[in-house]
Amino acid sequence: MVKSYLKYEHAKTFGVVTSSTSNILWTQQNRSSTGAGQAVVPANEEVLCWDIKTGDVVERWKDEKCSAQVTAIAQSKANEDLFAAGYEDGSVRLWRSKDPSPFITFNGHRSAITILAFDRSGVRLASGSKDTKVIVWDLVAEVGQFKLKGHKDQITGLQFVEPQEEVAEGEDTQAMVLDGESSSEGFLLTTGKDALIKLWDLGSRHCIETHIAQTNGECWALGLSPDYSGCITAGNAGELKVWAIDAASLAASRQRVDVPANIQYLHDRGTLFRHGKDKATEVVFHPRRDYFAVHGSEKSVEIWRIRNEAEIKKSLARKKKRRREKLAEKKKGKTNGDVEPDGEDDQEEDLSKADVNDAFAQHLIIRTGGKVKSVDWADTHGNKKLQLLASDTNNQLELFNMPLKEKKSKQEDVPDYERALSVDIPGHRADIRSLALSSDDRWLASASNGSLKIWSMLTLKCGKTLECGYALCCAFLPGDKLVVIGTKSGDIELFEVATGTLLDSVSAHEGAIWSLQVHPDGRSIVSGSADKSAKFWKVQVVQEEVLGTTRTTSRLKLSHSRTLKVADDILSLKFSPDARLLAVALLDSTVKVFFVDSLKLYLNLYGHKLPVLDMDISYDSKLIVTCSADKNIRIWGLDFGDCHKALLGHQDSILQVKFLPNNREGNGHHFFSASKDRTIKYWDGDKFEQIQRLDGHHGEIWALAISQSSEPPFIVSASHDKSIRVWEETDEQIFLEEEREKEIEELYENTLTQSLEQDLDADDENEEIGAATKQTSETLNHGERIAEALELGMADLHVMREWEEAKASNPNVAPPQRNPMFMAHGGISAEEYVMKVLQRPAASALNDALLVLPFASVPMLFTFLNLFAMRSMNIPLTCRILFFMLKTHHRQIVGSRTMRAMLDGIRTNLRKALQRQKDEMGYNIAALKIAGMQIQDRGVKEYVDENWDDGTGAQNVKKRAFVHVS
């Protein structure tokens, strides 16, 4: 009989405040929420929304089908509840506030999304990626409009430029309406790592201007001022380049056909140098005030202020005065004066020609608690201070307050700032190096460099944060009241969980303590260190004298009892559950097994090529499993020390291995291994087979802990991505053969889609614009289903036509035998079945699915489109499929006679259907207008004379209208 196993699945994630893969956003979602607003941040594959004041997660957005990390986030300006998130696999998902699942998914990029931007009306989204492409997505039709391919390296900046054309007072209102209609397309400003800044006209879909953004290497960031008057690009060595945008000319150019070829909209205004000398990674303008923030990857954010006209004039006047004084001094020495500088002074009065250093001033530098990844302005209305939200690479969020520039303050006084709020308790600053579960599985201890945190496994909240050294290992002592940790400096620290106090700290070893184990009887612990010794410690209550008095007080202390000296550094220790043996893993790649009572050598285990990093002994003390940096897992018998099996377990060093602690349903010899290759694997130690692979972490997995007694059992893992994940056993059974088949299928699908993408890239390499398509396994499956449905449908149409003909001559003829598929759907017609299949793919995936169809299937598809038009079945979808297929196969369709005749029929039927819909809509609109007028007549009274001139004439535009009193 085939043995089945129970599946482990990812249940919960905690411990991440913000991951350093993406930008962050500040938003004031609920006006009723606490005053500091909310932070929308990436947390590996999730998007979290934190209430900054309370430090609680308000919302959590995660797509179960996607395990890639979030790499970009954007918020719509028109609809504040609409967010877009870009992922490492090139997909883009749109989320609505208070809705935990995405409502649109776009696939078009080949690699990670680097930046996202909504347009002003919120109906288009632009995405830039590491694959050097920019795609503009239509959010109403839910499709990719086009792909822009001008850059030669990853996109680093992306902004919509949509200037409004100024209408003169004398013009009539109709011109304004026309302008509103034409302003739908706008322009797009992009920067790339190839040091270019490009301006794209989205109406004609081509690049109208290209400049070299940075002179000393790559361009890493783009910031656009809210009024579209200028932008700033940032590069290496602290260089910021300021560009003026001629917004008025841009707006006017939309109305003109004959735009001069030599016109320039972007003008280089000069270069600023910031305080930090590394590359700047983000430039963010304040939405309402004249400030912008810029930062690199150091622990500071620089705030710059844009000076107003009066200040610039004052600065220019001061410079002018100083130049005149110098000139006067020169004139004293010389007889003939030079008249030229006066002309220069007159030129200087023109503010647009002023030096860029006169227009911008450094406001202050904020020092943060970690290296900055991203910042955003917190724009709370009515606040007299500037507020900046910063996310750091060490897993924390900080909110800073800073004053605006006072009128009275002198130039020399640098204004101070304060760190007002932070979200840092729900996560560690550094990587978690060790995990330990309490005996009742209710508490979890996680230890890292500088902090020990105690988490409740019920609420997943951090109950206590204790300061400690650089912890490498930790364990709960029996009773779960005390936690003991071993540090890199060789100290053992004993903490009380309830009060959070350090009870005792012992300088135990001269080297790092790599392993710490509690004896199965709970009365002693053993520590293994890099100083080539293992020391045994007893936890005792000692009476200590209180200084300056004769009184004594009882204290828990660790007292050293025995020492075991070995030939090399100890990397891991393990007691057997029967307390008879102690296994010690050494740096020389061997494992030595000693008797606990006499400390005499029992077994020597040779076989690993690199040091053993961790090991565990099964519940019955019969098997020992070791894992090593050589990527191998070895299973040994503890009776003779023979190696039962060596398994190539992972693609990188294996850091942790753990047996299931109790023999529940015969799984006592099953164990888990965790590796630097970001996976956890579940193994059968008797059959030497891999049962399951658990993917989910985005960094090497440092620590693993397994529940002792809870039902269902669970494991906890901690990784370099700062997350702590809980994996629970489910009732779902898994069979090894099926798991292998699934893995092979995944591999095949990945290679298939990659090869298709390469073919597509080769086809349209030199074009500046392309279609926003990407084949995924999902679109391939949909395409195959559509092809299958068309063949079934055509066969059914022929069968039904023959039956109709036979019925004309013989009315009693029996109905034909149709395909069971139609019967399964309730005896529907062929066209209804094909329509069902076409409606299944999401709007964004339909075009890609249709591209899978060979041209031989197109006549069949057009036959059904004709039937859809005749029967008025889902006309919007019918039109969309028709126009897309015509655009894609235009040449072949035009060259085919049979297709031309078919198109005539479709056109006639489609026009009739559209006319019917148009008439219906017109009728409904007219009826709604009448209903609206009737409601207005009943409910609204206008206090005006019957012959009142309401001032709609062009000359009376400025007149105030009367308020309606309803």
Residue 482: pLDDT band (50, 70, 90) is very high
pLDDT at 253: 83
In Å, how far from its chain's centre is CA 843? 23
pLDDT tier, 193 (very low <50, low <70, confident <90, very high otherwise): very high
- The pLDDT tens digits of the residues spanning 201-252 come to 998 898 999 999 988 889 999 999 999 999 999 999 889 999 999 988 888 8
Distance between CA atoms of residues 503 and 553, nearest Å = 13
Q: Are 587 and 566 in contact (CB under 8 A)?
A: no
Whether the model pTM is above 0.75: yes
Q: Cβ(587)–Cβ(611) under 8 Å?
A: yes
Angle between helices 843-851 and 777-809 (to 10 degrees): 80
Q: Is the pLDDT of residue 958 over 80?
A: no
Burial profile 350-361: b = 16 or more Cβ within 10 angstroms, e = fewer: eeeebeeebbbe
- What is the rounded CA–CA span in Å between residue 660 and residue 474? 19
CA distance linking residue 311 with residue 285, whole number of Å = 20
Provide Rg for the chain, Cα atoms. 36
pLDDT value of position 613: 95
pLDDT-derived band at 451, boundaries 50, 70, 90: very high
Crossing angle (nearest 10°) for helices 830-839 and 777-809? 170
How far apart, in whole angstroms, are the C-alpha atoms of residue 715 and residue 537? 29
Question: Positive or negative CA dihedral for 816, 819, 824, 826?
Answer: negative
Average model confidence (pLDDT) for the chain? 87
Strand partners, 372: 392
What residues contact 149, with CB distance under 8 A and at least 6 apart?
132, 133, 134, 767, 768, 769, 770
Cα separations (Å) of 965 from 234, 350, 931, 958, 959?
A: 55, 51, 20, 22, 19
Query: What SS3 class is residue 764?
Result: coil
CA-CA-CA-CA torsion sign (821, 822, 823, 826)? positive
Tokens at residue 493, please?
A: 């620290």
Pull the structure tokens for residue 437: 């579960």
Backbone angles phi and psi of 192, in degrees to 5? -130, 170
DSSP 509-543: -SS-EEEEEE-TTSSEEEEEETTSEEEEEEEEEEE
Using the structure block, give the residue that is written with the tokens 């039956």: 803
Q: Scan for tokens 């499956």, then name that residue.
A: 781
| pLDDT for res 83 | 95
Instruction: Give the Cα separation of 735 and 714 in Å (integer).
Output: 20
The 10 Å Cβ neighbour count of residue 263 is 12
Determine the 3-state secondary structure of 951 from DSSP. coil
Predicted confidence at residue 350, as pLDDT, reads 60
Q: Which residues pair with 66 in a beta bridge?
A: none
Nearest to 100 by CA among 47, 37, 31, 40: 47
DSSP per-residue string spanning 95-136: EETT-SS-SEEEE--SS-EEEEEE-TTSSEEEEEETTS-EEE
Strand pairing category for 239-245 and 266-273: antiparallel
Dihedral sign, CA of 349, 355, 359, 363?
negative
DSSP class of residue 164? P
Query: pLDDT digit string (tens) for 664-703?
Result: 777 889 999 999 999 999 999 999 999 999 999 999 999 9
pLDDT in tens, 879-916: 989 998 998 888 888 888 888 888 888 899 899 988 99
Among residues 664, 750, 769, the alpha carbon closest in space to that of 709 is found at 664
Q: What is the pLDDT of residues 263-321, one digit of tens each?
A: 889 999 999 999 888 899 999 999 988 999 999 999 999 999 999 888 888 888 888 88
Give the Cα separation of 515 and 495 in Å (integer).
17
The residues pairing with 187 across neighbouring beta strands, listed in sequence order, are: 161, 201
Look at residue 938 and give its three-state secondary structure: helix
Q: How confident is the model at residue 597 (pLDDT cuts 50, 70, 90)?
A: very high
Residue-wise pLDDT for 61-76, tens only, equals: 999 888 999 999 999 9
Is the model more confident about 183 or about 949?
949
Indicate if the pLDDT at residue 21 is higher than 80: yes
Q: Is the pLDDT of residue 961 over 50?
A: no
Give per-residue pLDDT as tens, 141-171: 888 999 999 999 999 999 999 988 765 444 4
Structure confidence by residue, pLDDT tens digits, 515-574: 999 999 988 999 999 999 999 999 888 877 777 777 777 778 889 999 999 999 999 999
Residue 645 has a CB neighbour count (10 Å cut-off) of 15
pLDDT at 348: 44
> How does DSSP assign 80-92, residue by residue?
TTEEEEEETTSEE
3 state SS of 281 = coil
